[in-house]
Amino acid sequence: GKLNCEVITLNAYHDENRVTMVTPEQSQASVASIVKSLGADLGIVMGDGAEHITFIDDQGRIIRGAEAMVVWAKMVLELIPGARIAIPVSATHQIETMAAKHGGTVIRTKTSERALMDAAINEKVETCIDDRGGIIFPAFQAAFDGMIASVKLLEFISLLKKPLSEIINGIPDFYARSSRIPCPWEDKGKVMRYAMDFAKDKETHLLDGVKIMLGNDEWVLVLPDPDRPFVNVWVESTSEKKVTDLLEKTVTRVEEWKKSKD
């Protein structure tokens, strides 16, 4: 086509009369296997509604979530001098480190897609990135669009003159995890009060939920889900073991807060 790409399309048509039993993870694994078998440069799996994408590199690695966010940030910062990027408060702080290296600026937003779309309109950013496979390019439109994301991914790979796997290998190591904890609606306020008490005498950010800076490049974010009976937590640390331990401690702490008597 016009992009000079050879494209193999799989399951491109939605059948409203058929309920698929294939999970997104199964679809991604299937595409990853095909990418490796064909020696393709990359694979792209379009999410429901064509707003988000998961991409697969030329080695068959599935890139999604926080890792995809860091890859997008790296490409934008390297290609656009002084780029301004909007990311949610739950994103890894390694993105700030990369931005400082390239003279870029990071704008933190609430974790909702609505907040990122607002930033696309009001913050004069080059891009807004979430951890669900969504990216906004405001120069095109202030909304998530899987097709423009796919085209921009091809453009960035072409401009960087590197295979996608090499770009991914160049991102900094980071150790961030999250968990969703069941919590009755009536206990959410109590959990957040305990989170505020725990945050006393610590650097705290209240943009969305309670984000507590623990020092030594560690932080915890406690945020009640706005639509469902859950409390979401995110943590970041400096090693696999430390982040696993920090997540376990944070989940245990939230469970204790939830069960405690006021």
Within this chain, do residues 212 and 234 fall inside the same structural domain, yes or no?
Answer: yes
> Do the domain assignments include residue 54?
no
- The pLDDT of 14-23, averaged and rounded, is 72
CB contact set of 58 (below 8 Å; sequence gap of 6+): 35, 39, 40, 41, 42, 163, 164, 165
Domain boundary among 137, 169, 201: 169
The whole-number pLDDT of residue 121 equals: 98
Bridge partners, 23 (sequence order): none
Q: Binning pLDDT at 50, 70 and 90, where does residue 44 land?
A: very high
In contact, 83 and 111? CB cutoff 8 Å: no
Is residue 14 over pLDDT 70? no
Q: Structural domain of residue 217, as residue ranges? A: 175-259
> Do the domain assignments include residue 226?
yes
In contact, 243 and 174? CB cutoff 8 Å: no
205-252: pLDDT as tens digits: 999 999 999 998 999 999 999 999 999 999 999 999 999 999 999 999
Within this chain, do residues 79 and 140 fall inside the same structural domain, yes or no?
Answer: yes
The pTM (predicted TM-score) of the whole model is 0.93
Give how many domains the chain has, as a whole number. Answer: 2
Rounded mean pLDDT of the chain? 95
Q: Could you tell me the two tokens for 221?
A: 């974010």
Within this chain, do residues 124 and 211 fall inside the same structural domain, yes or no?
Answer: no
Within this chain, do residues 143 and 204 fall inside the same structural domain, yes or no?
Answer: no
What residue type is assigned to position 200 of the chain? K
171-187: pLDDT as tens digits: 999 999 999 999 999 99
- The pLDDT of 154-174, averaged and rounded, is 97
Within this chain, do residues 83 and 154 fall inside the same structural domain, yes or no?
Answer: yes
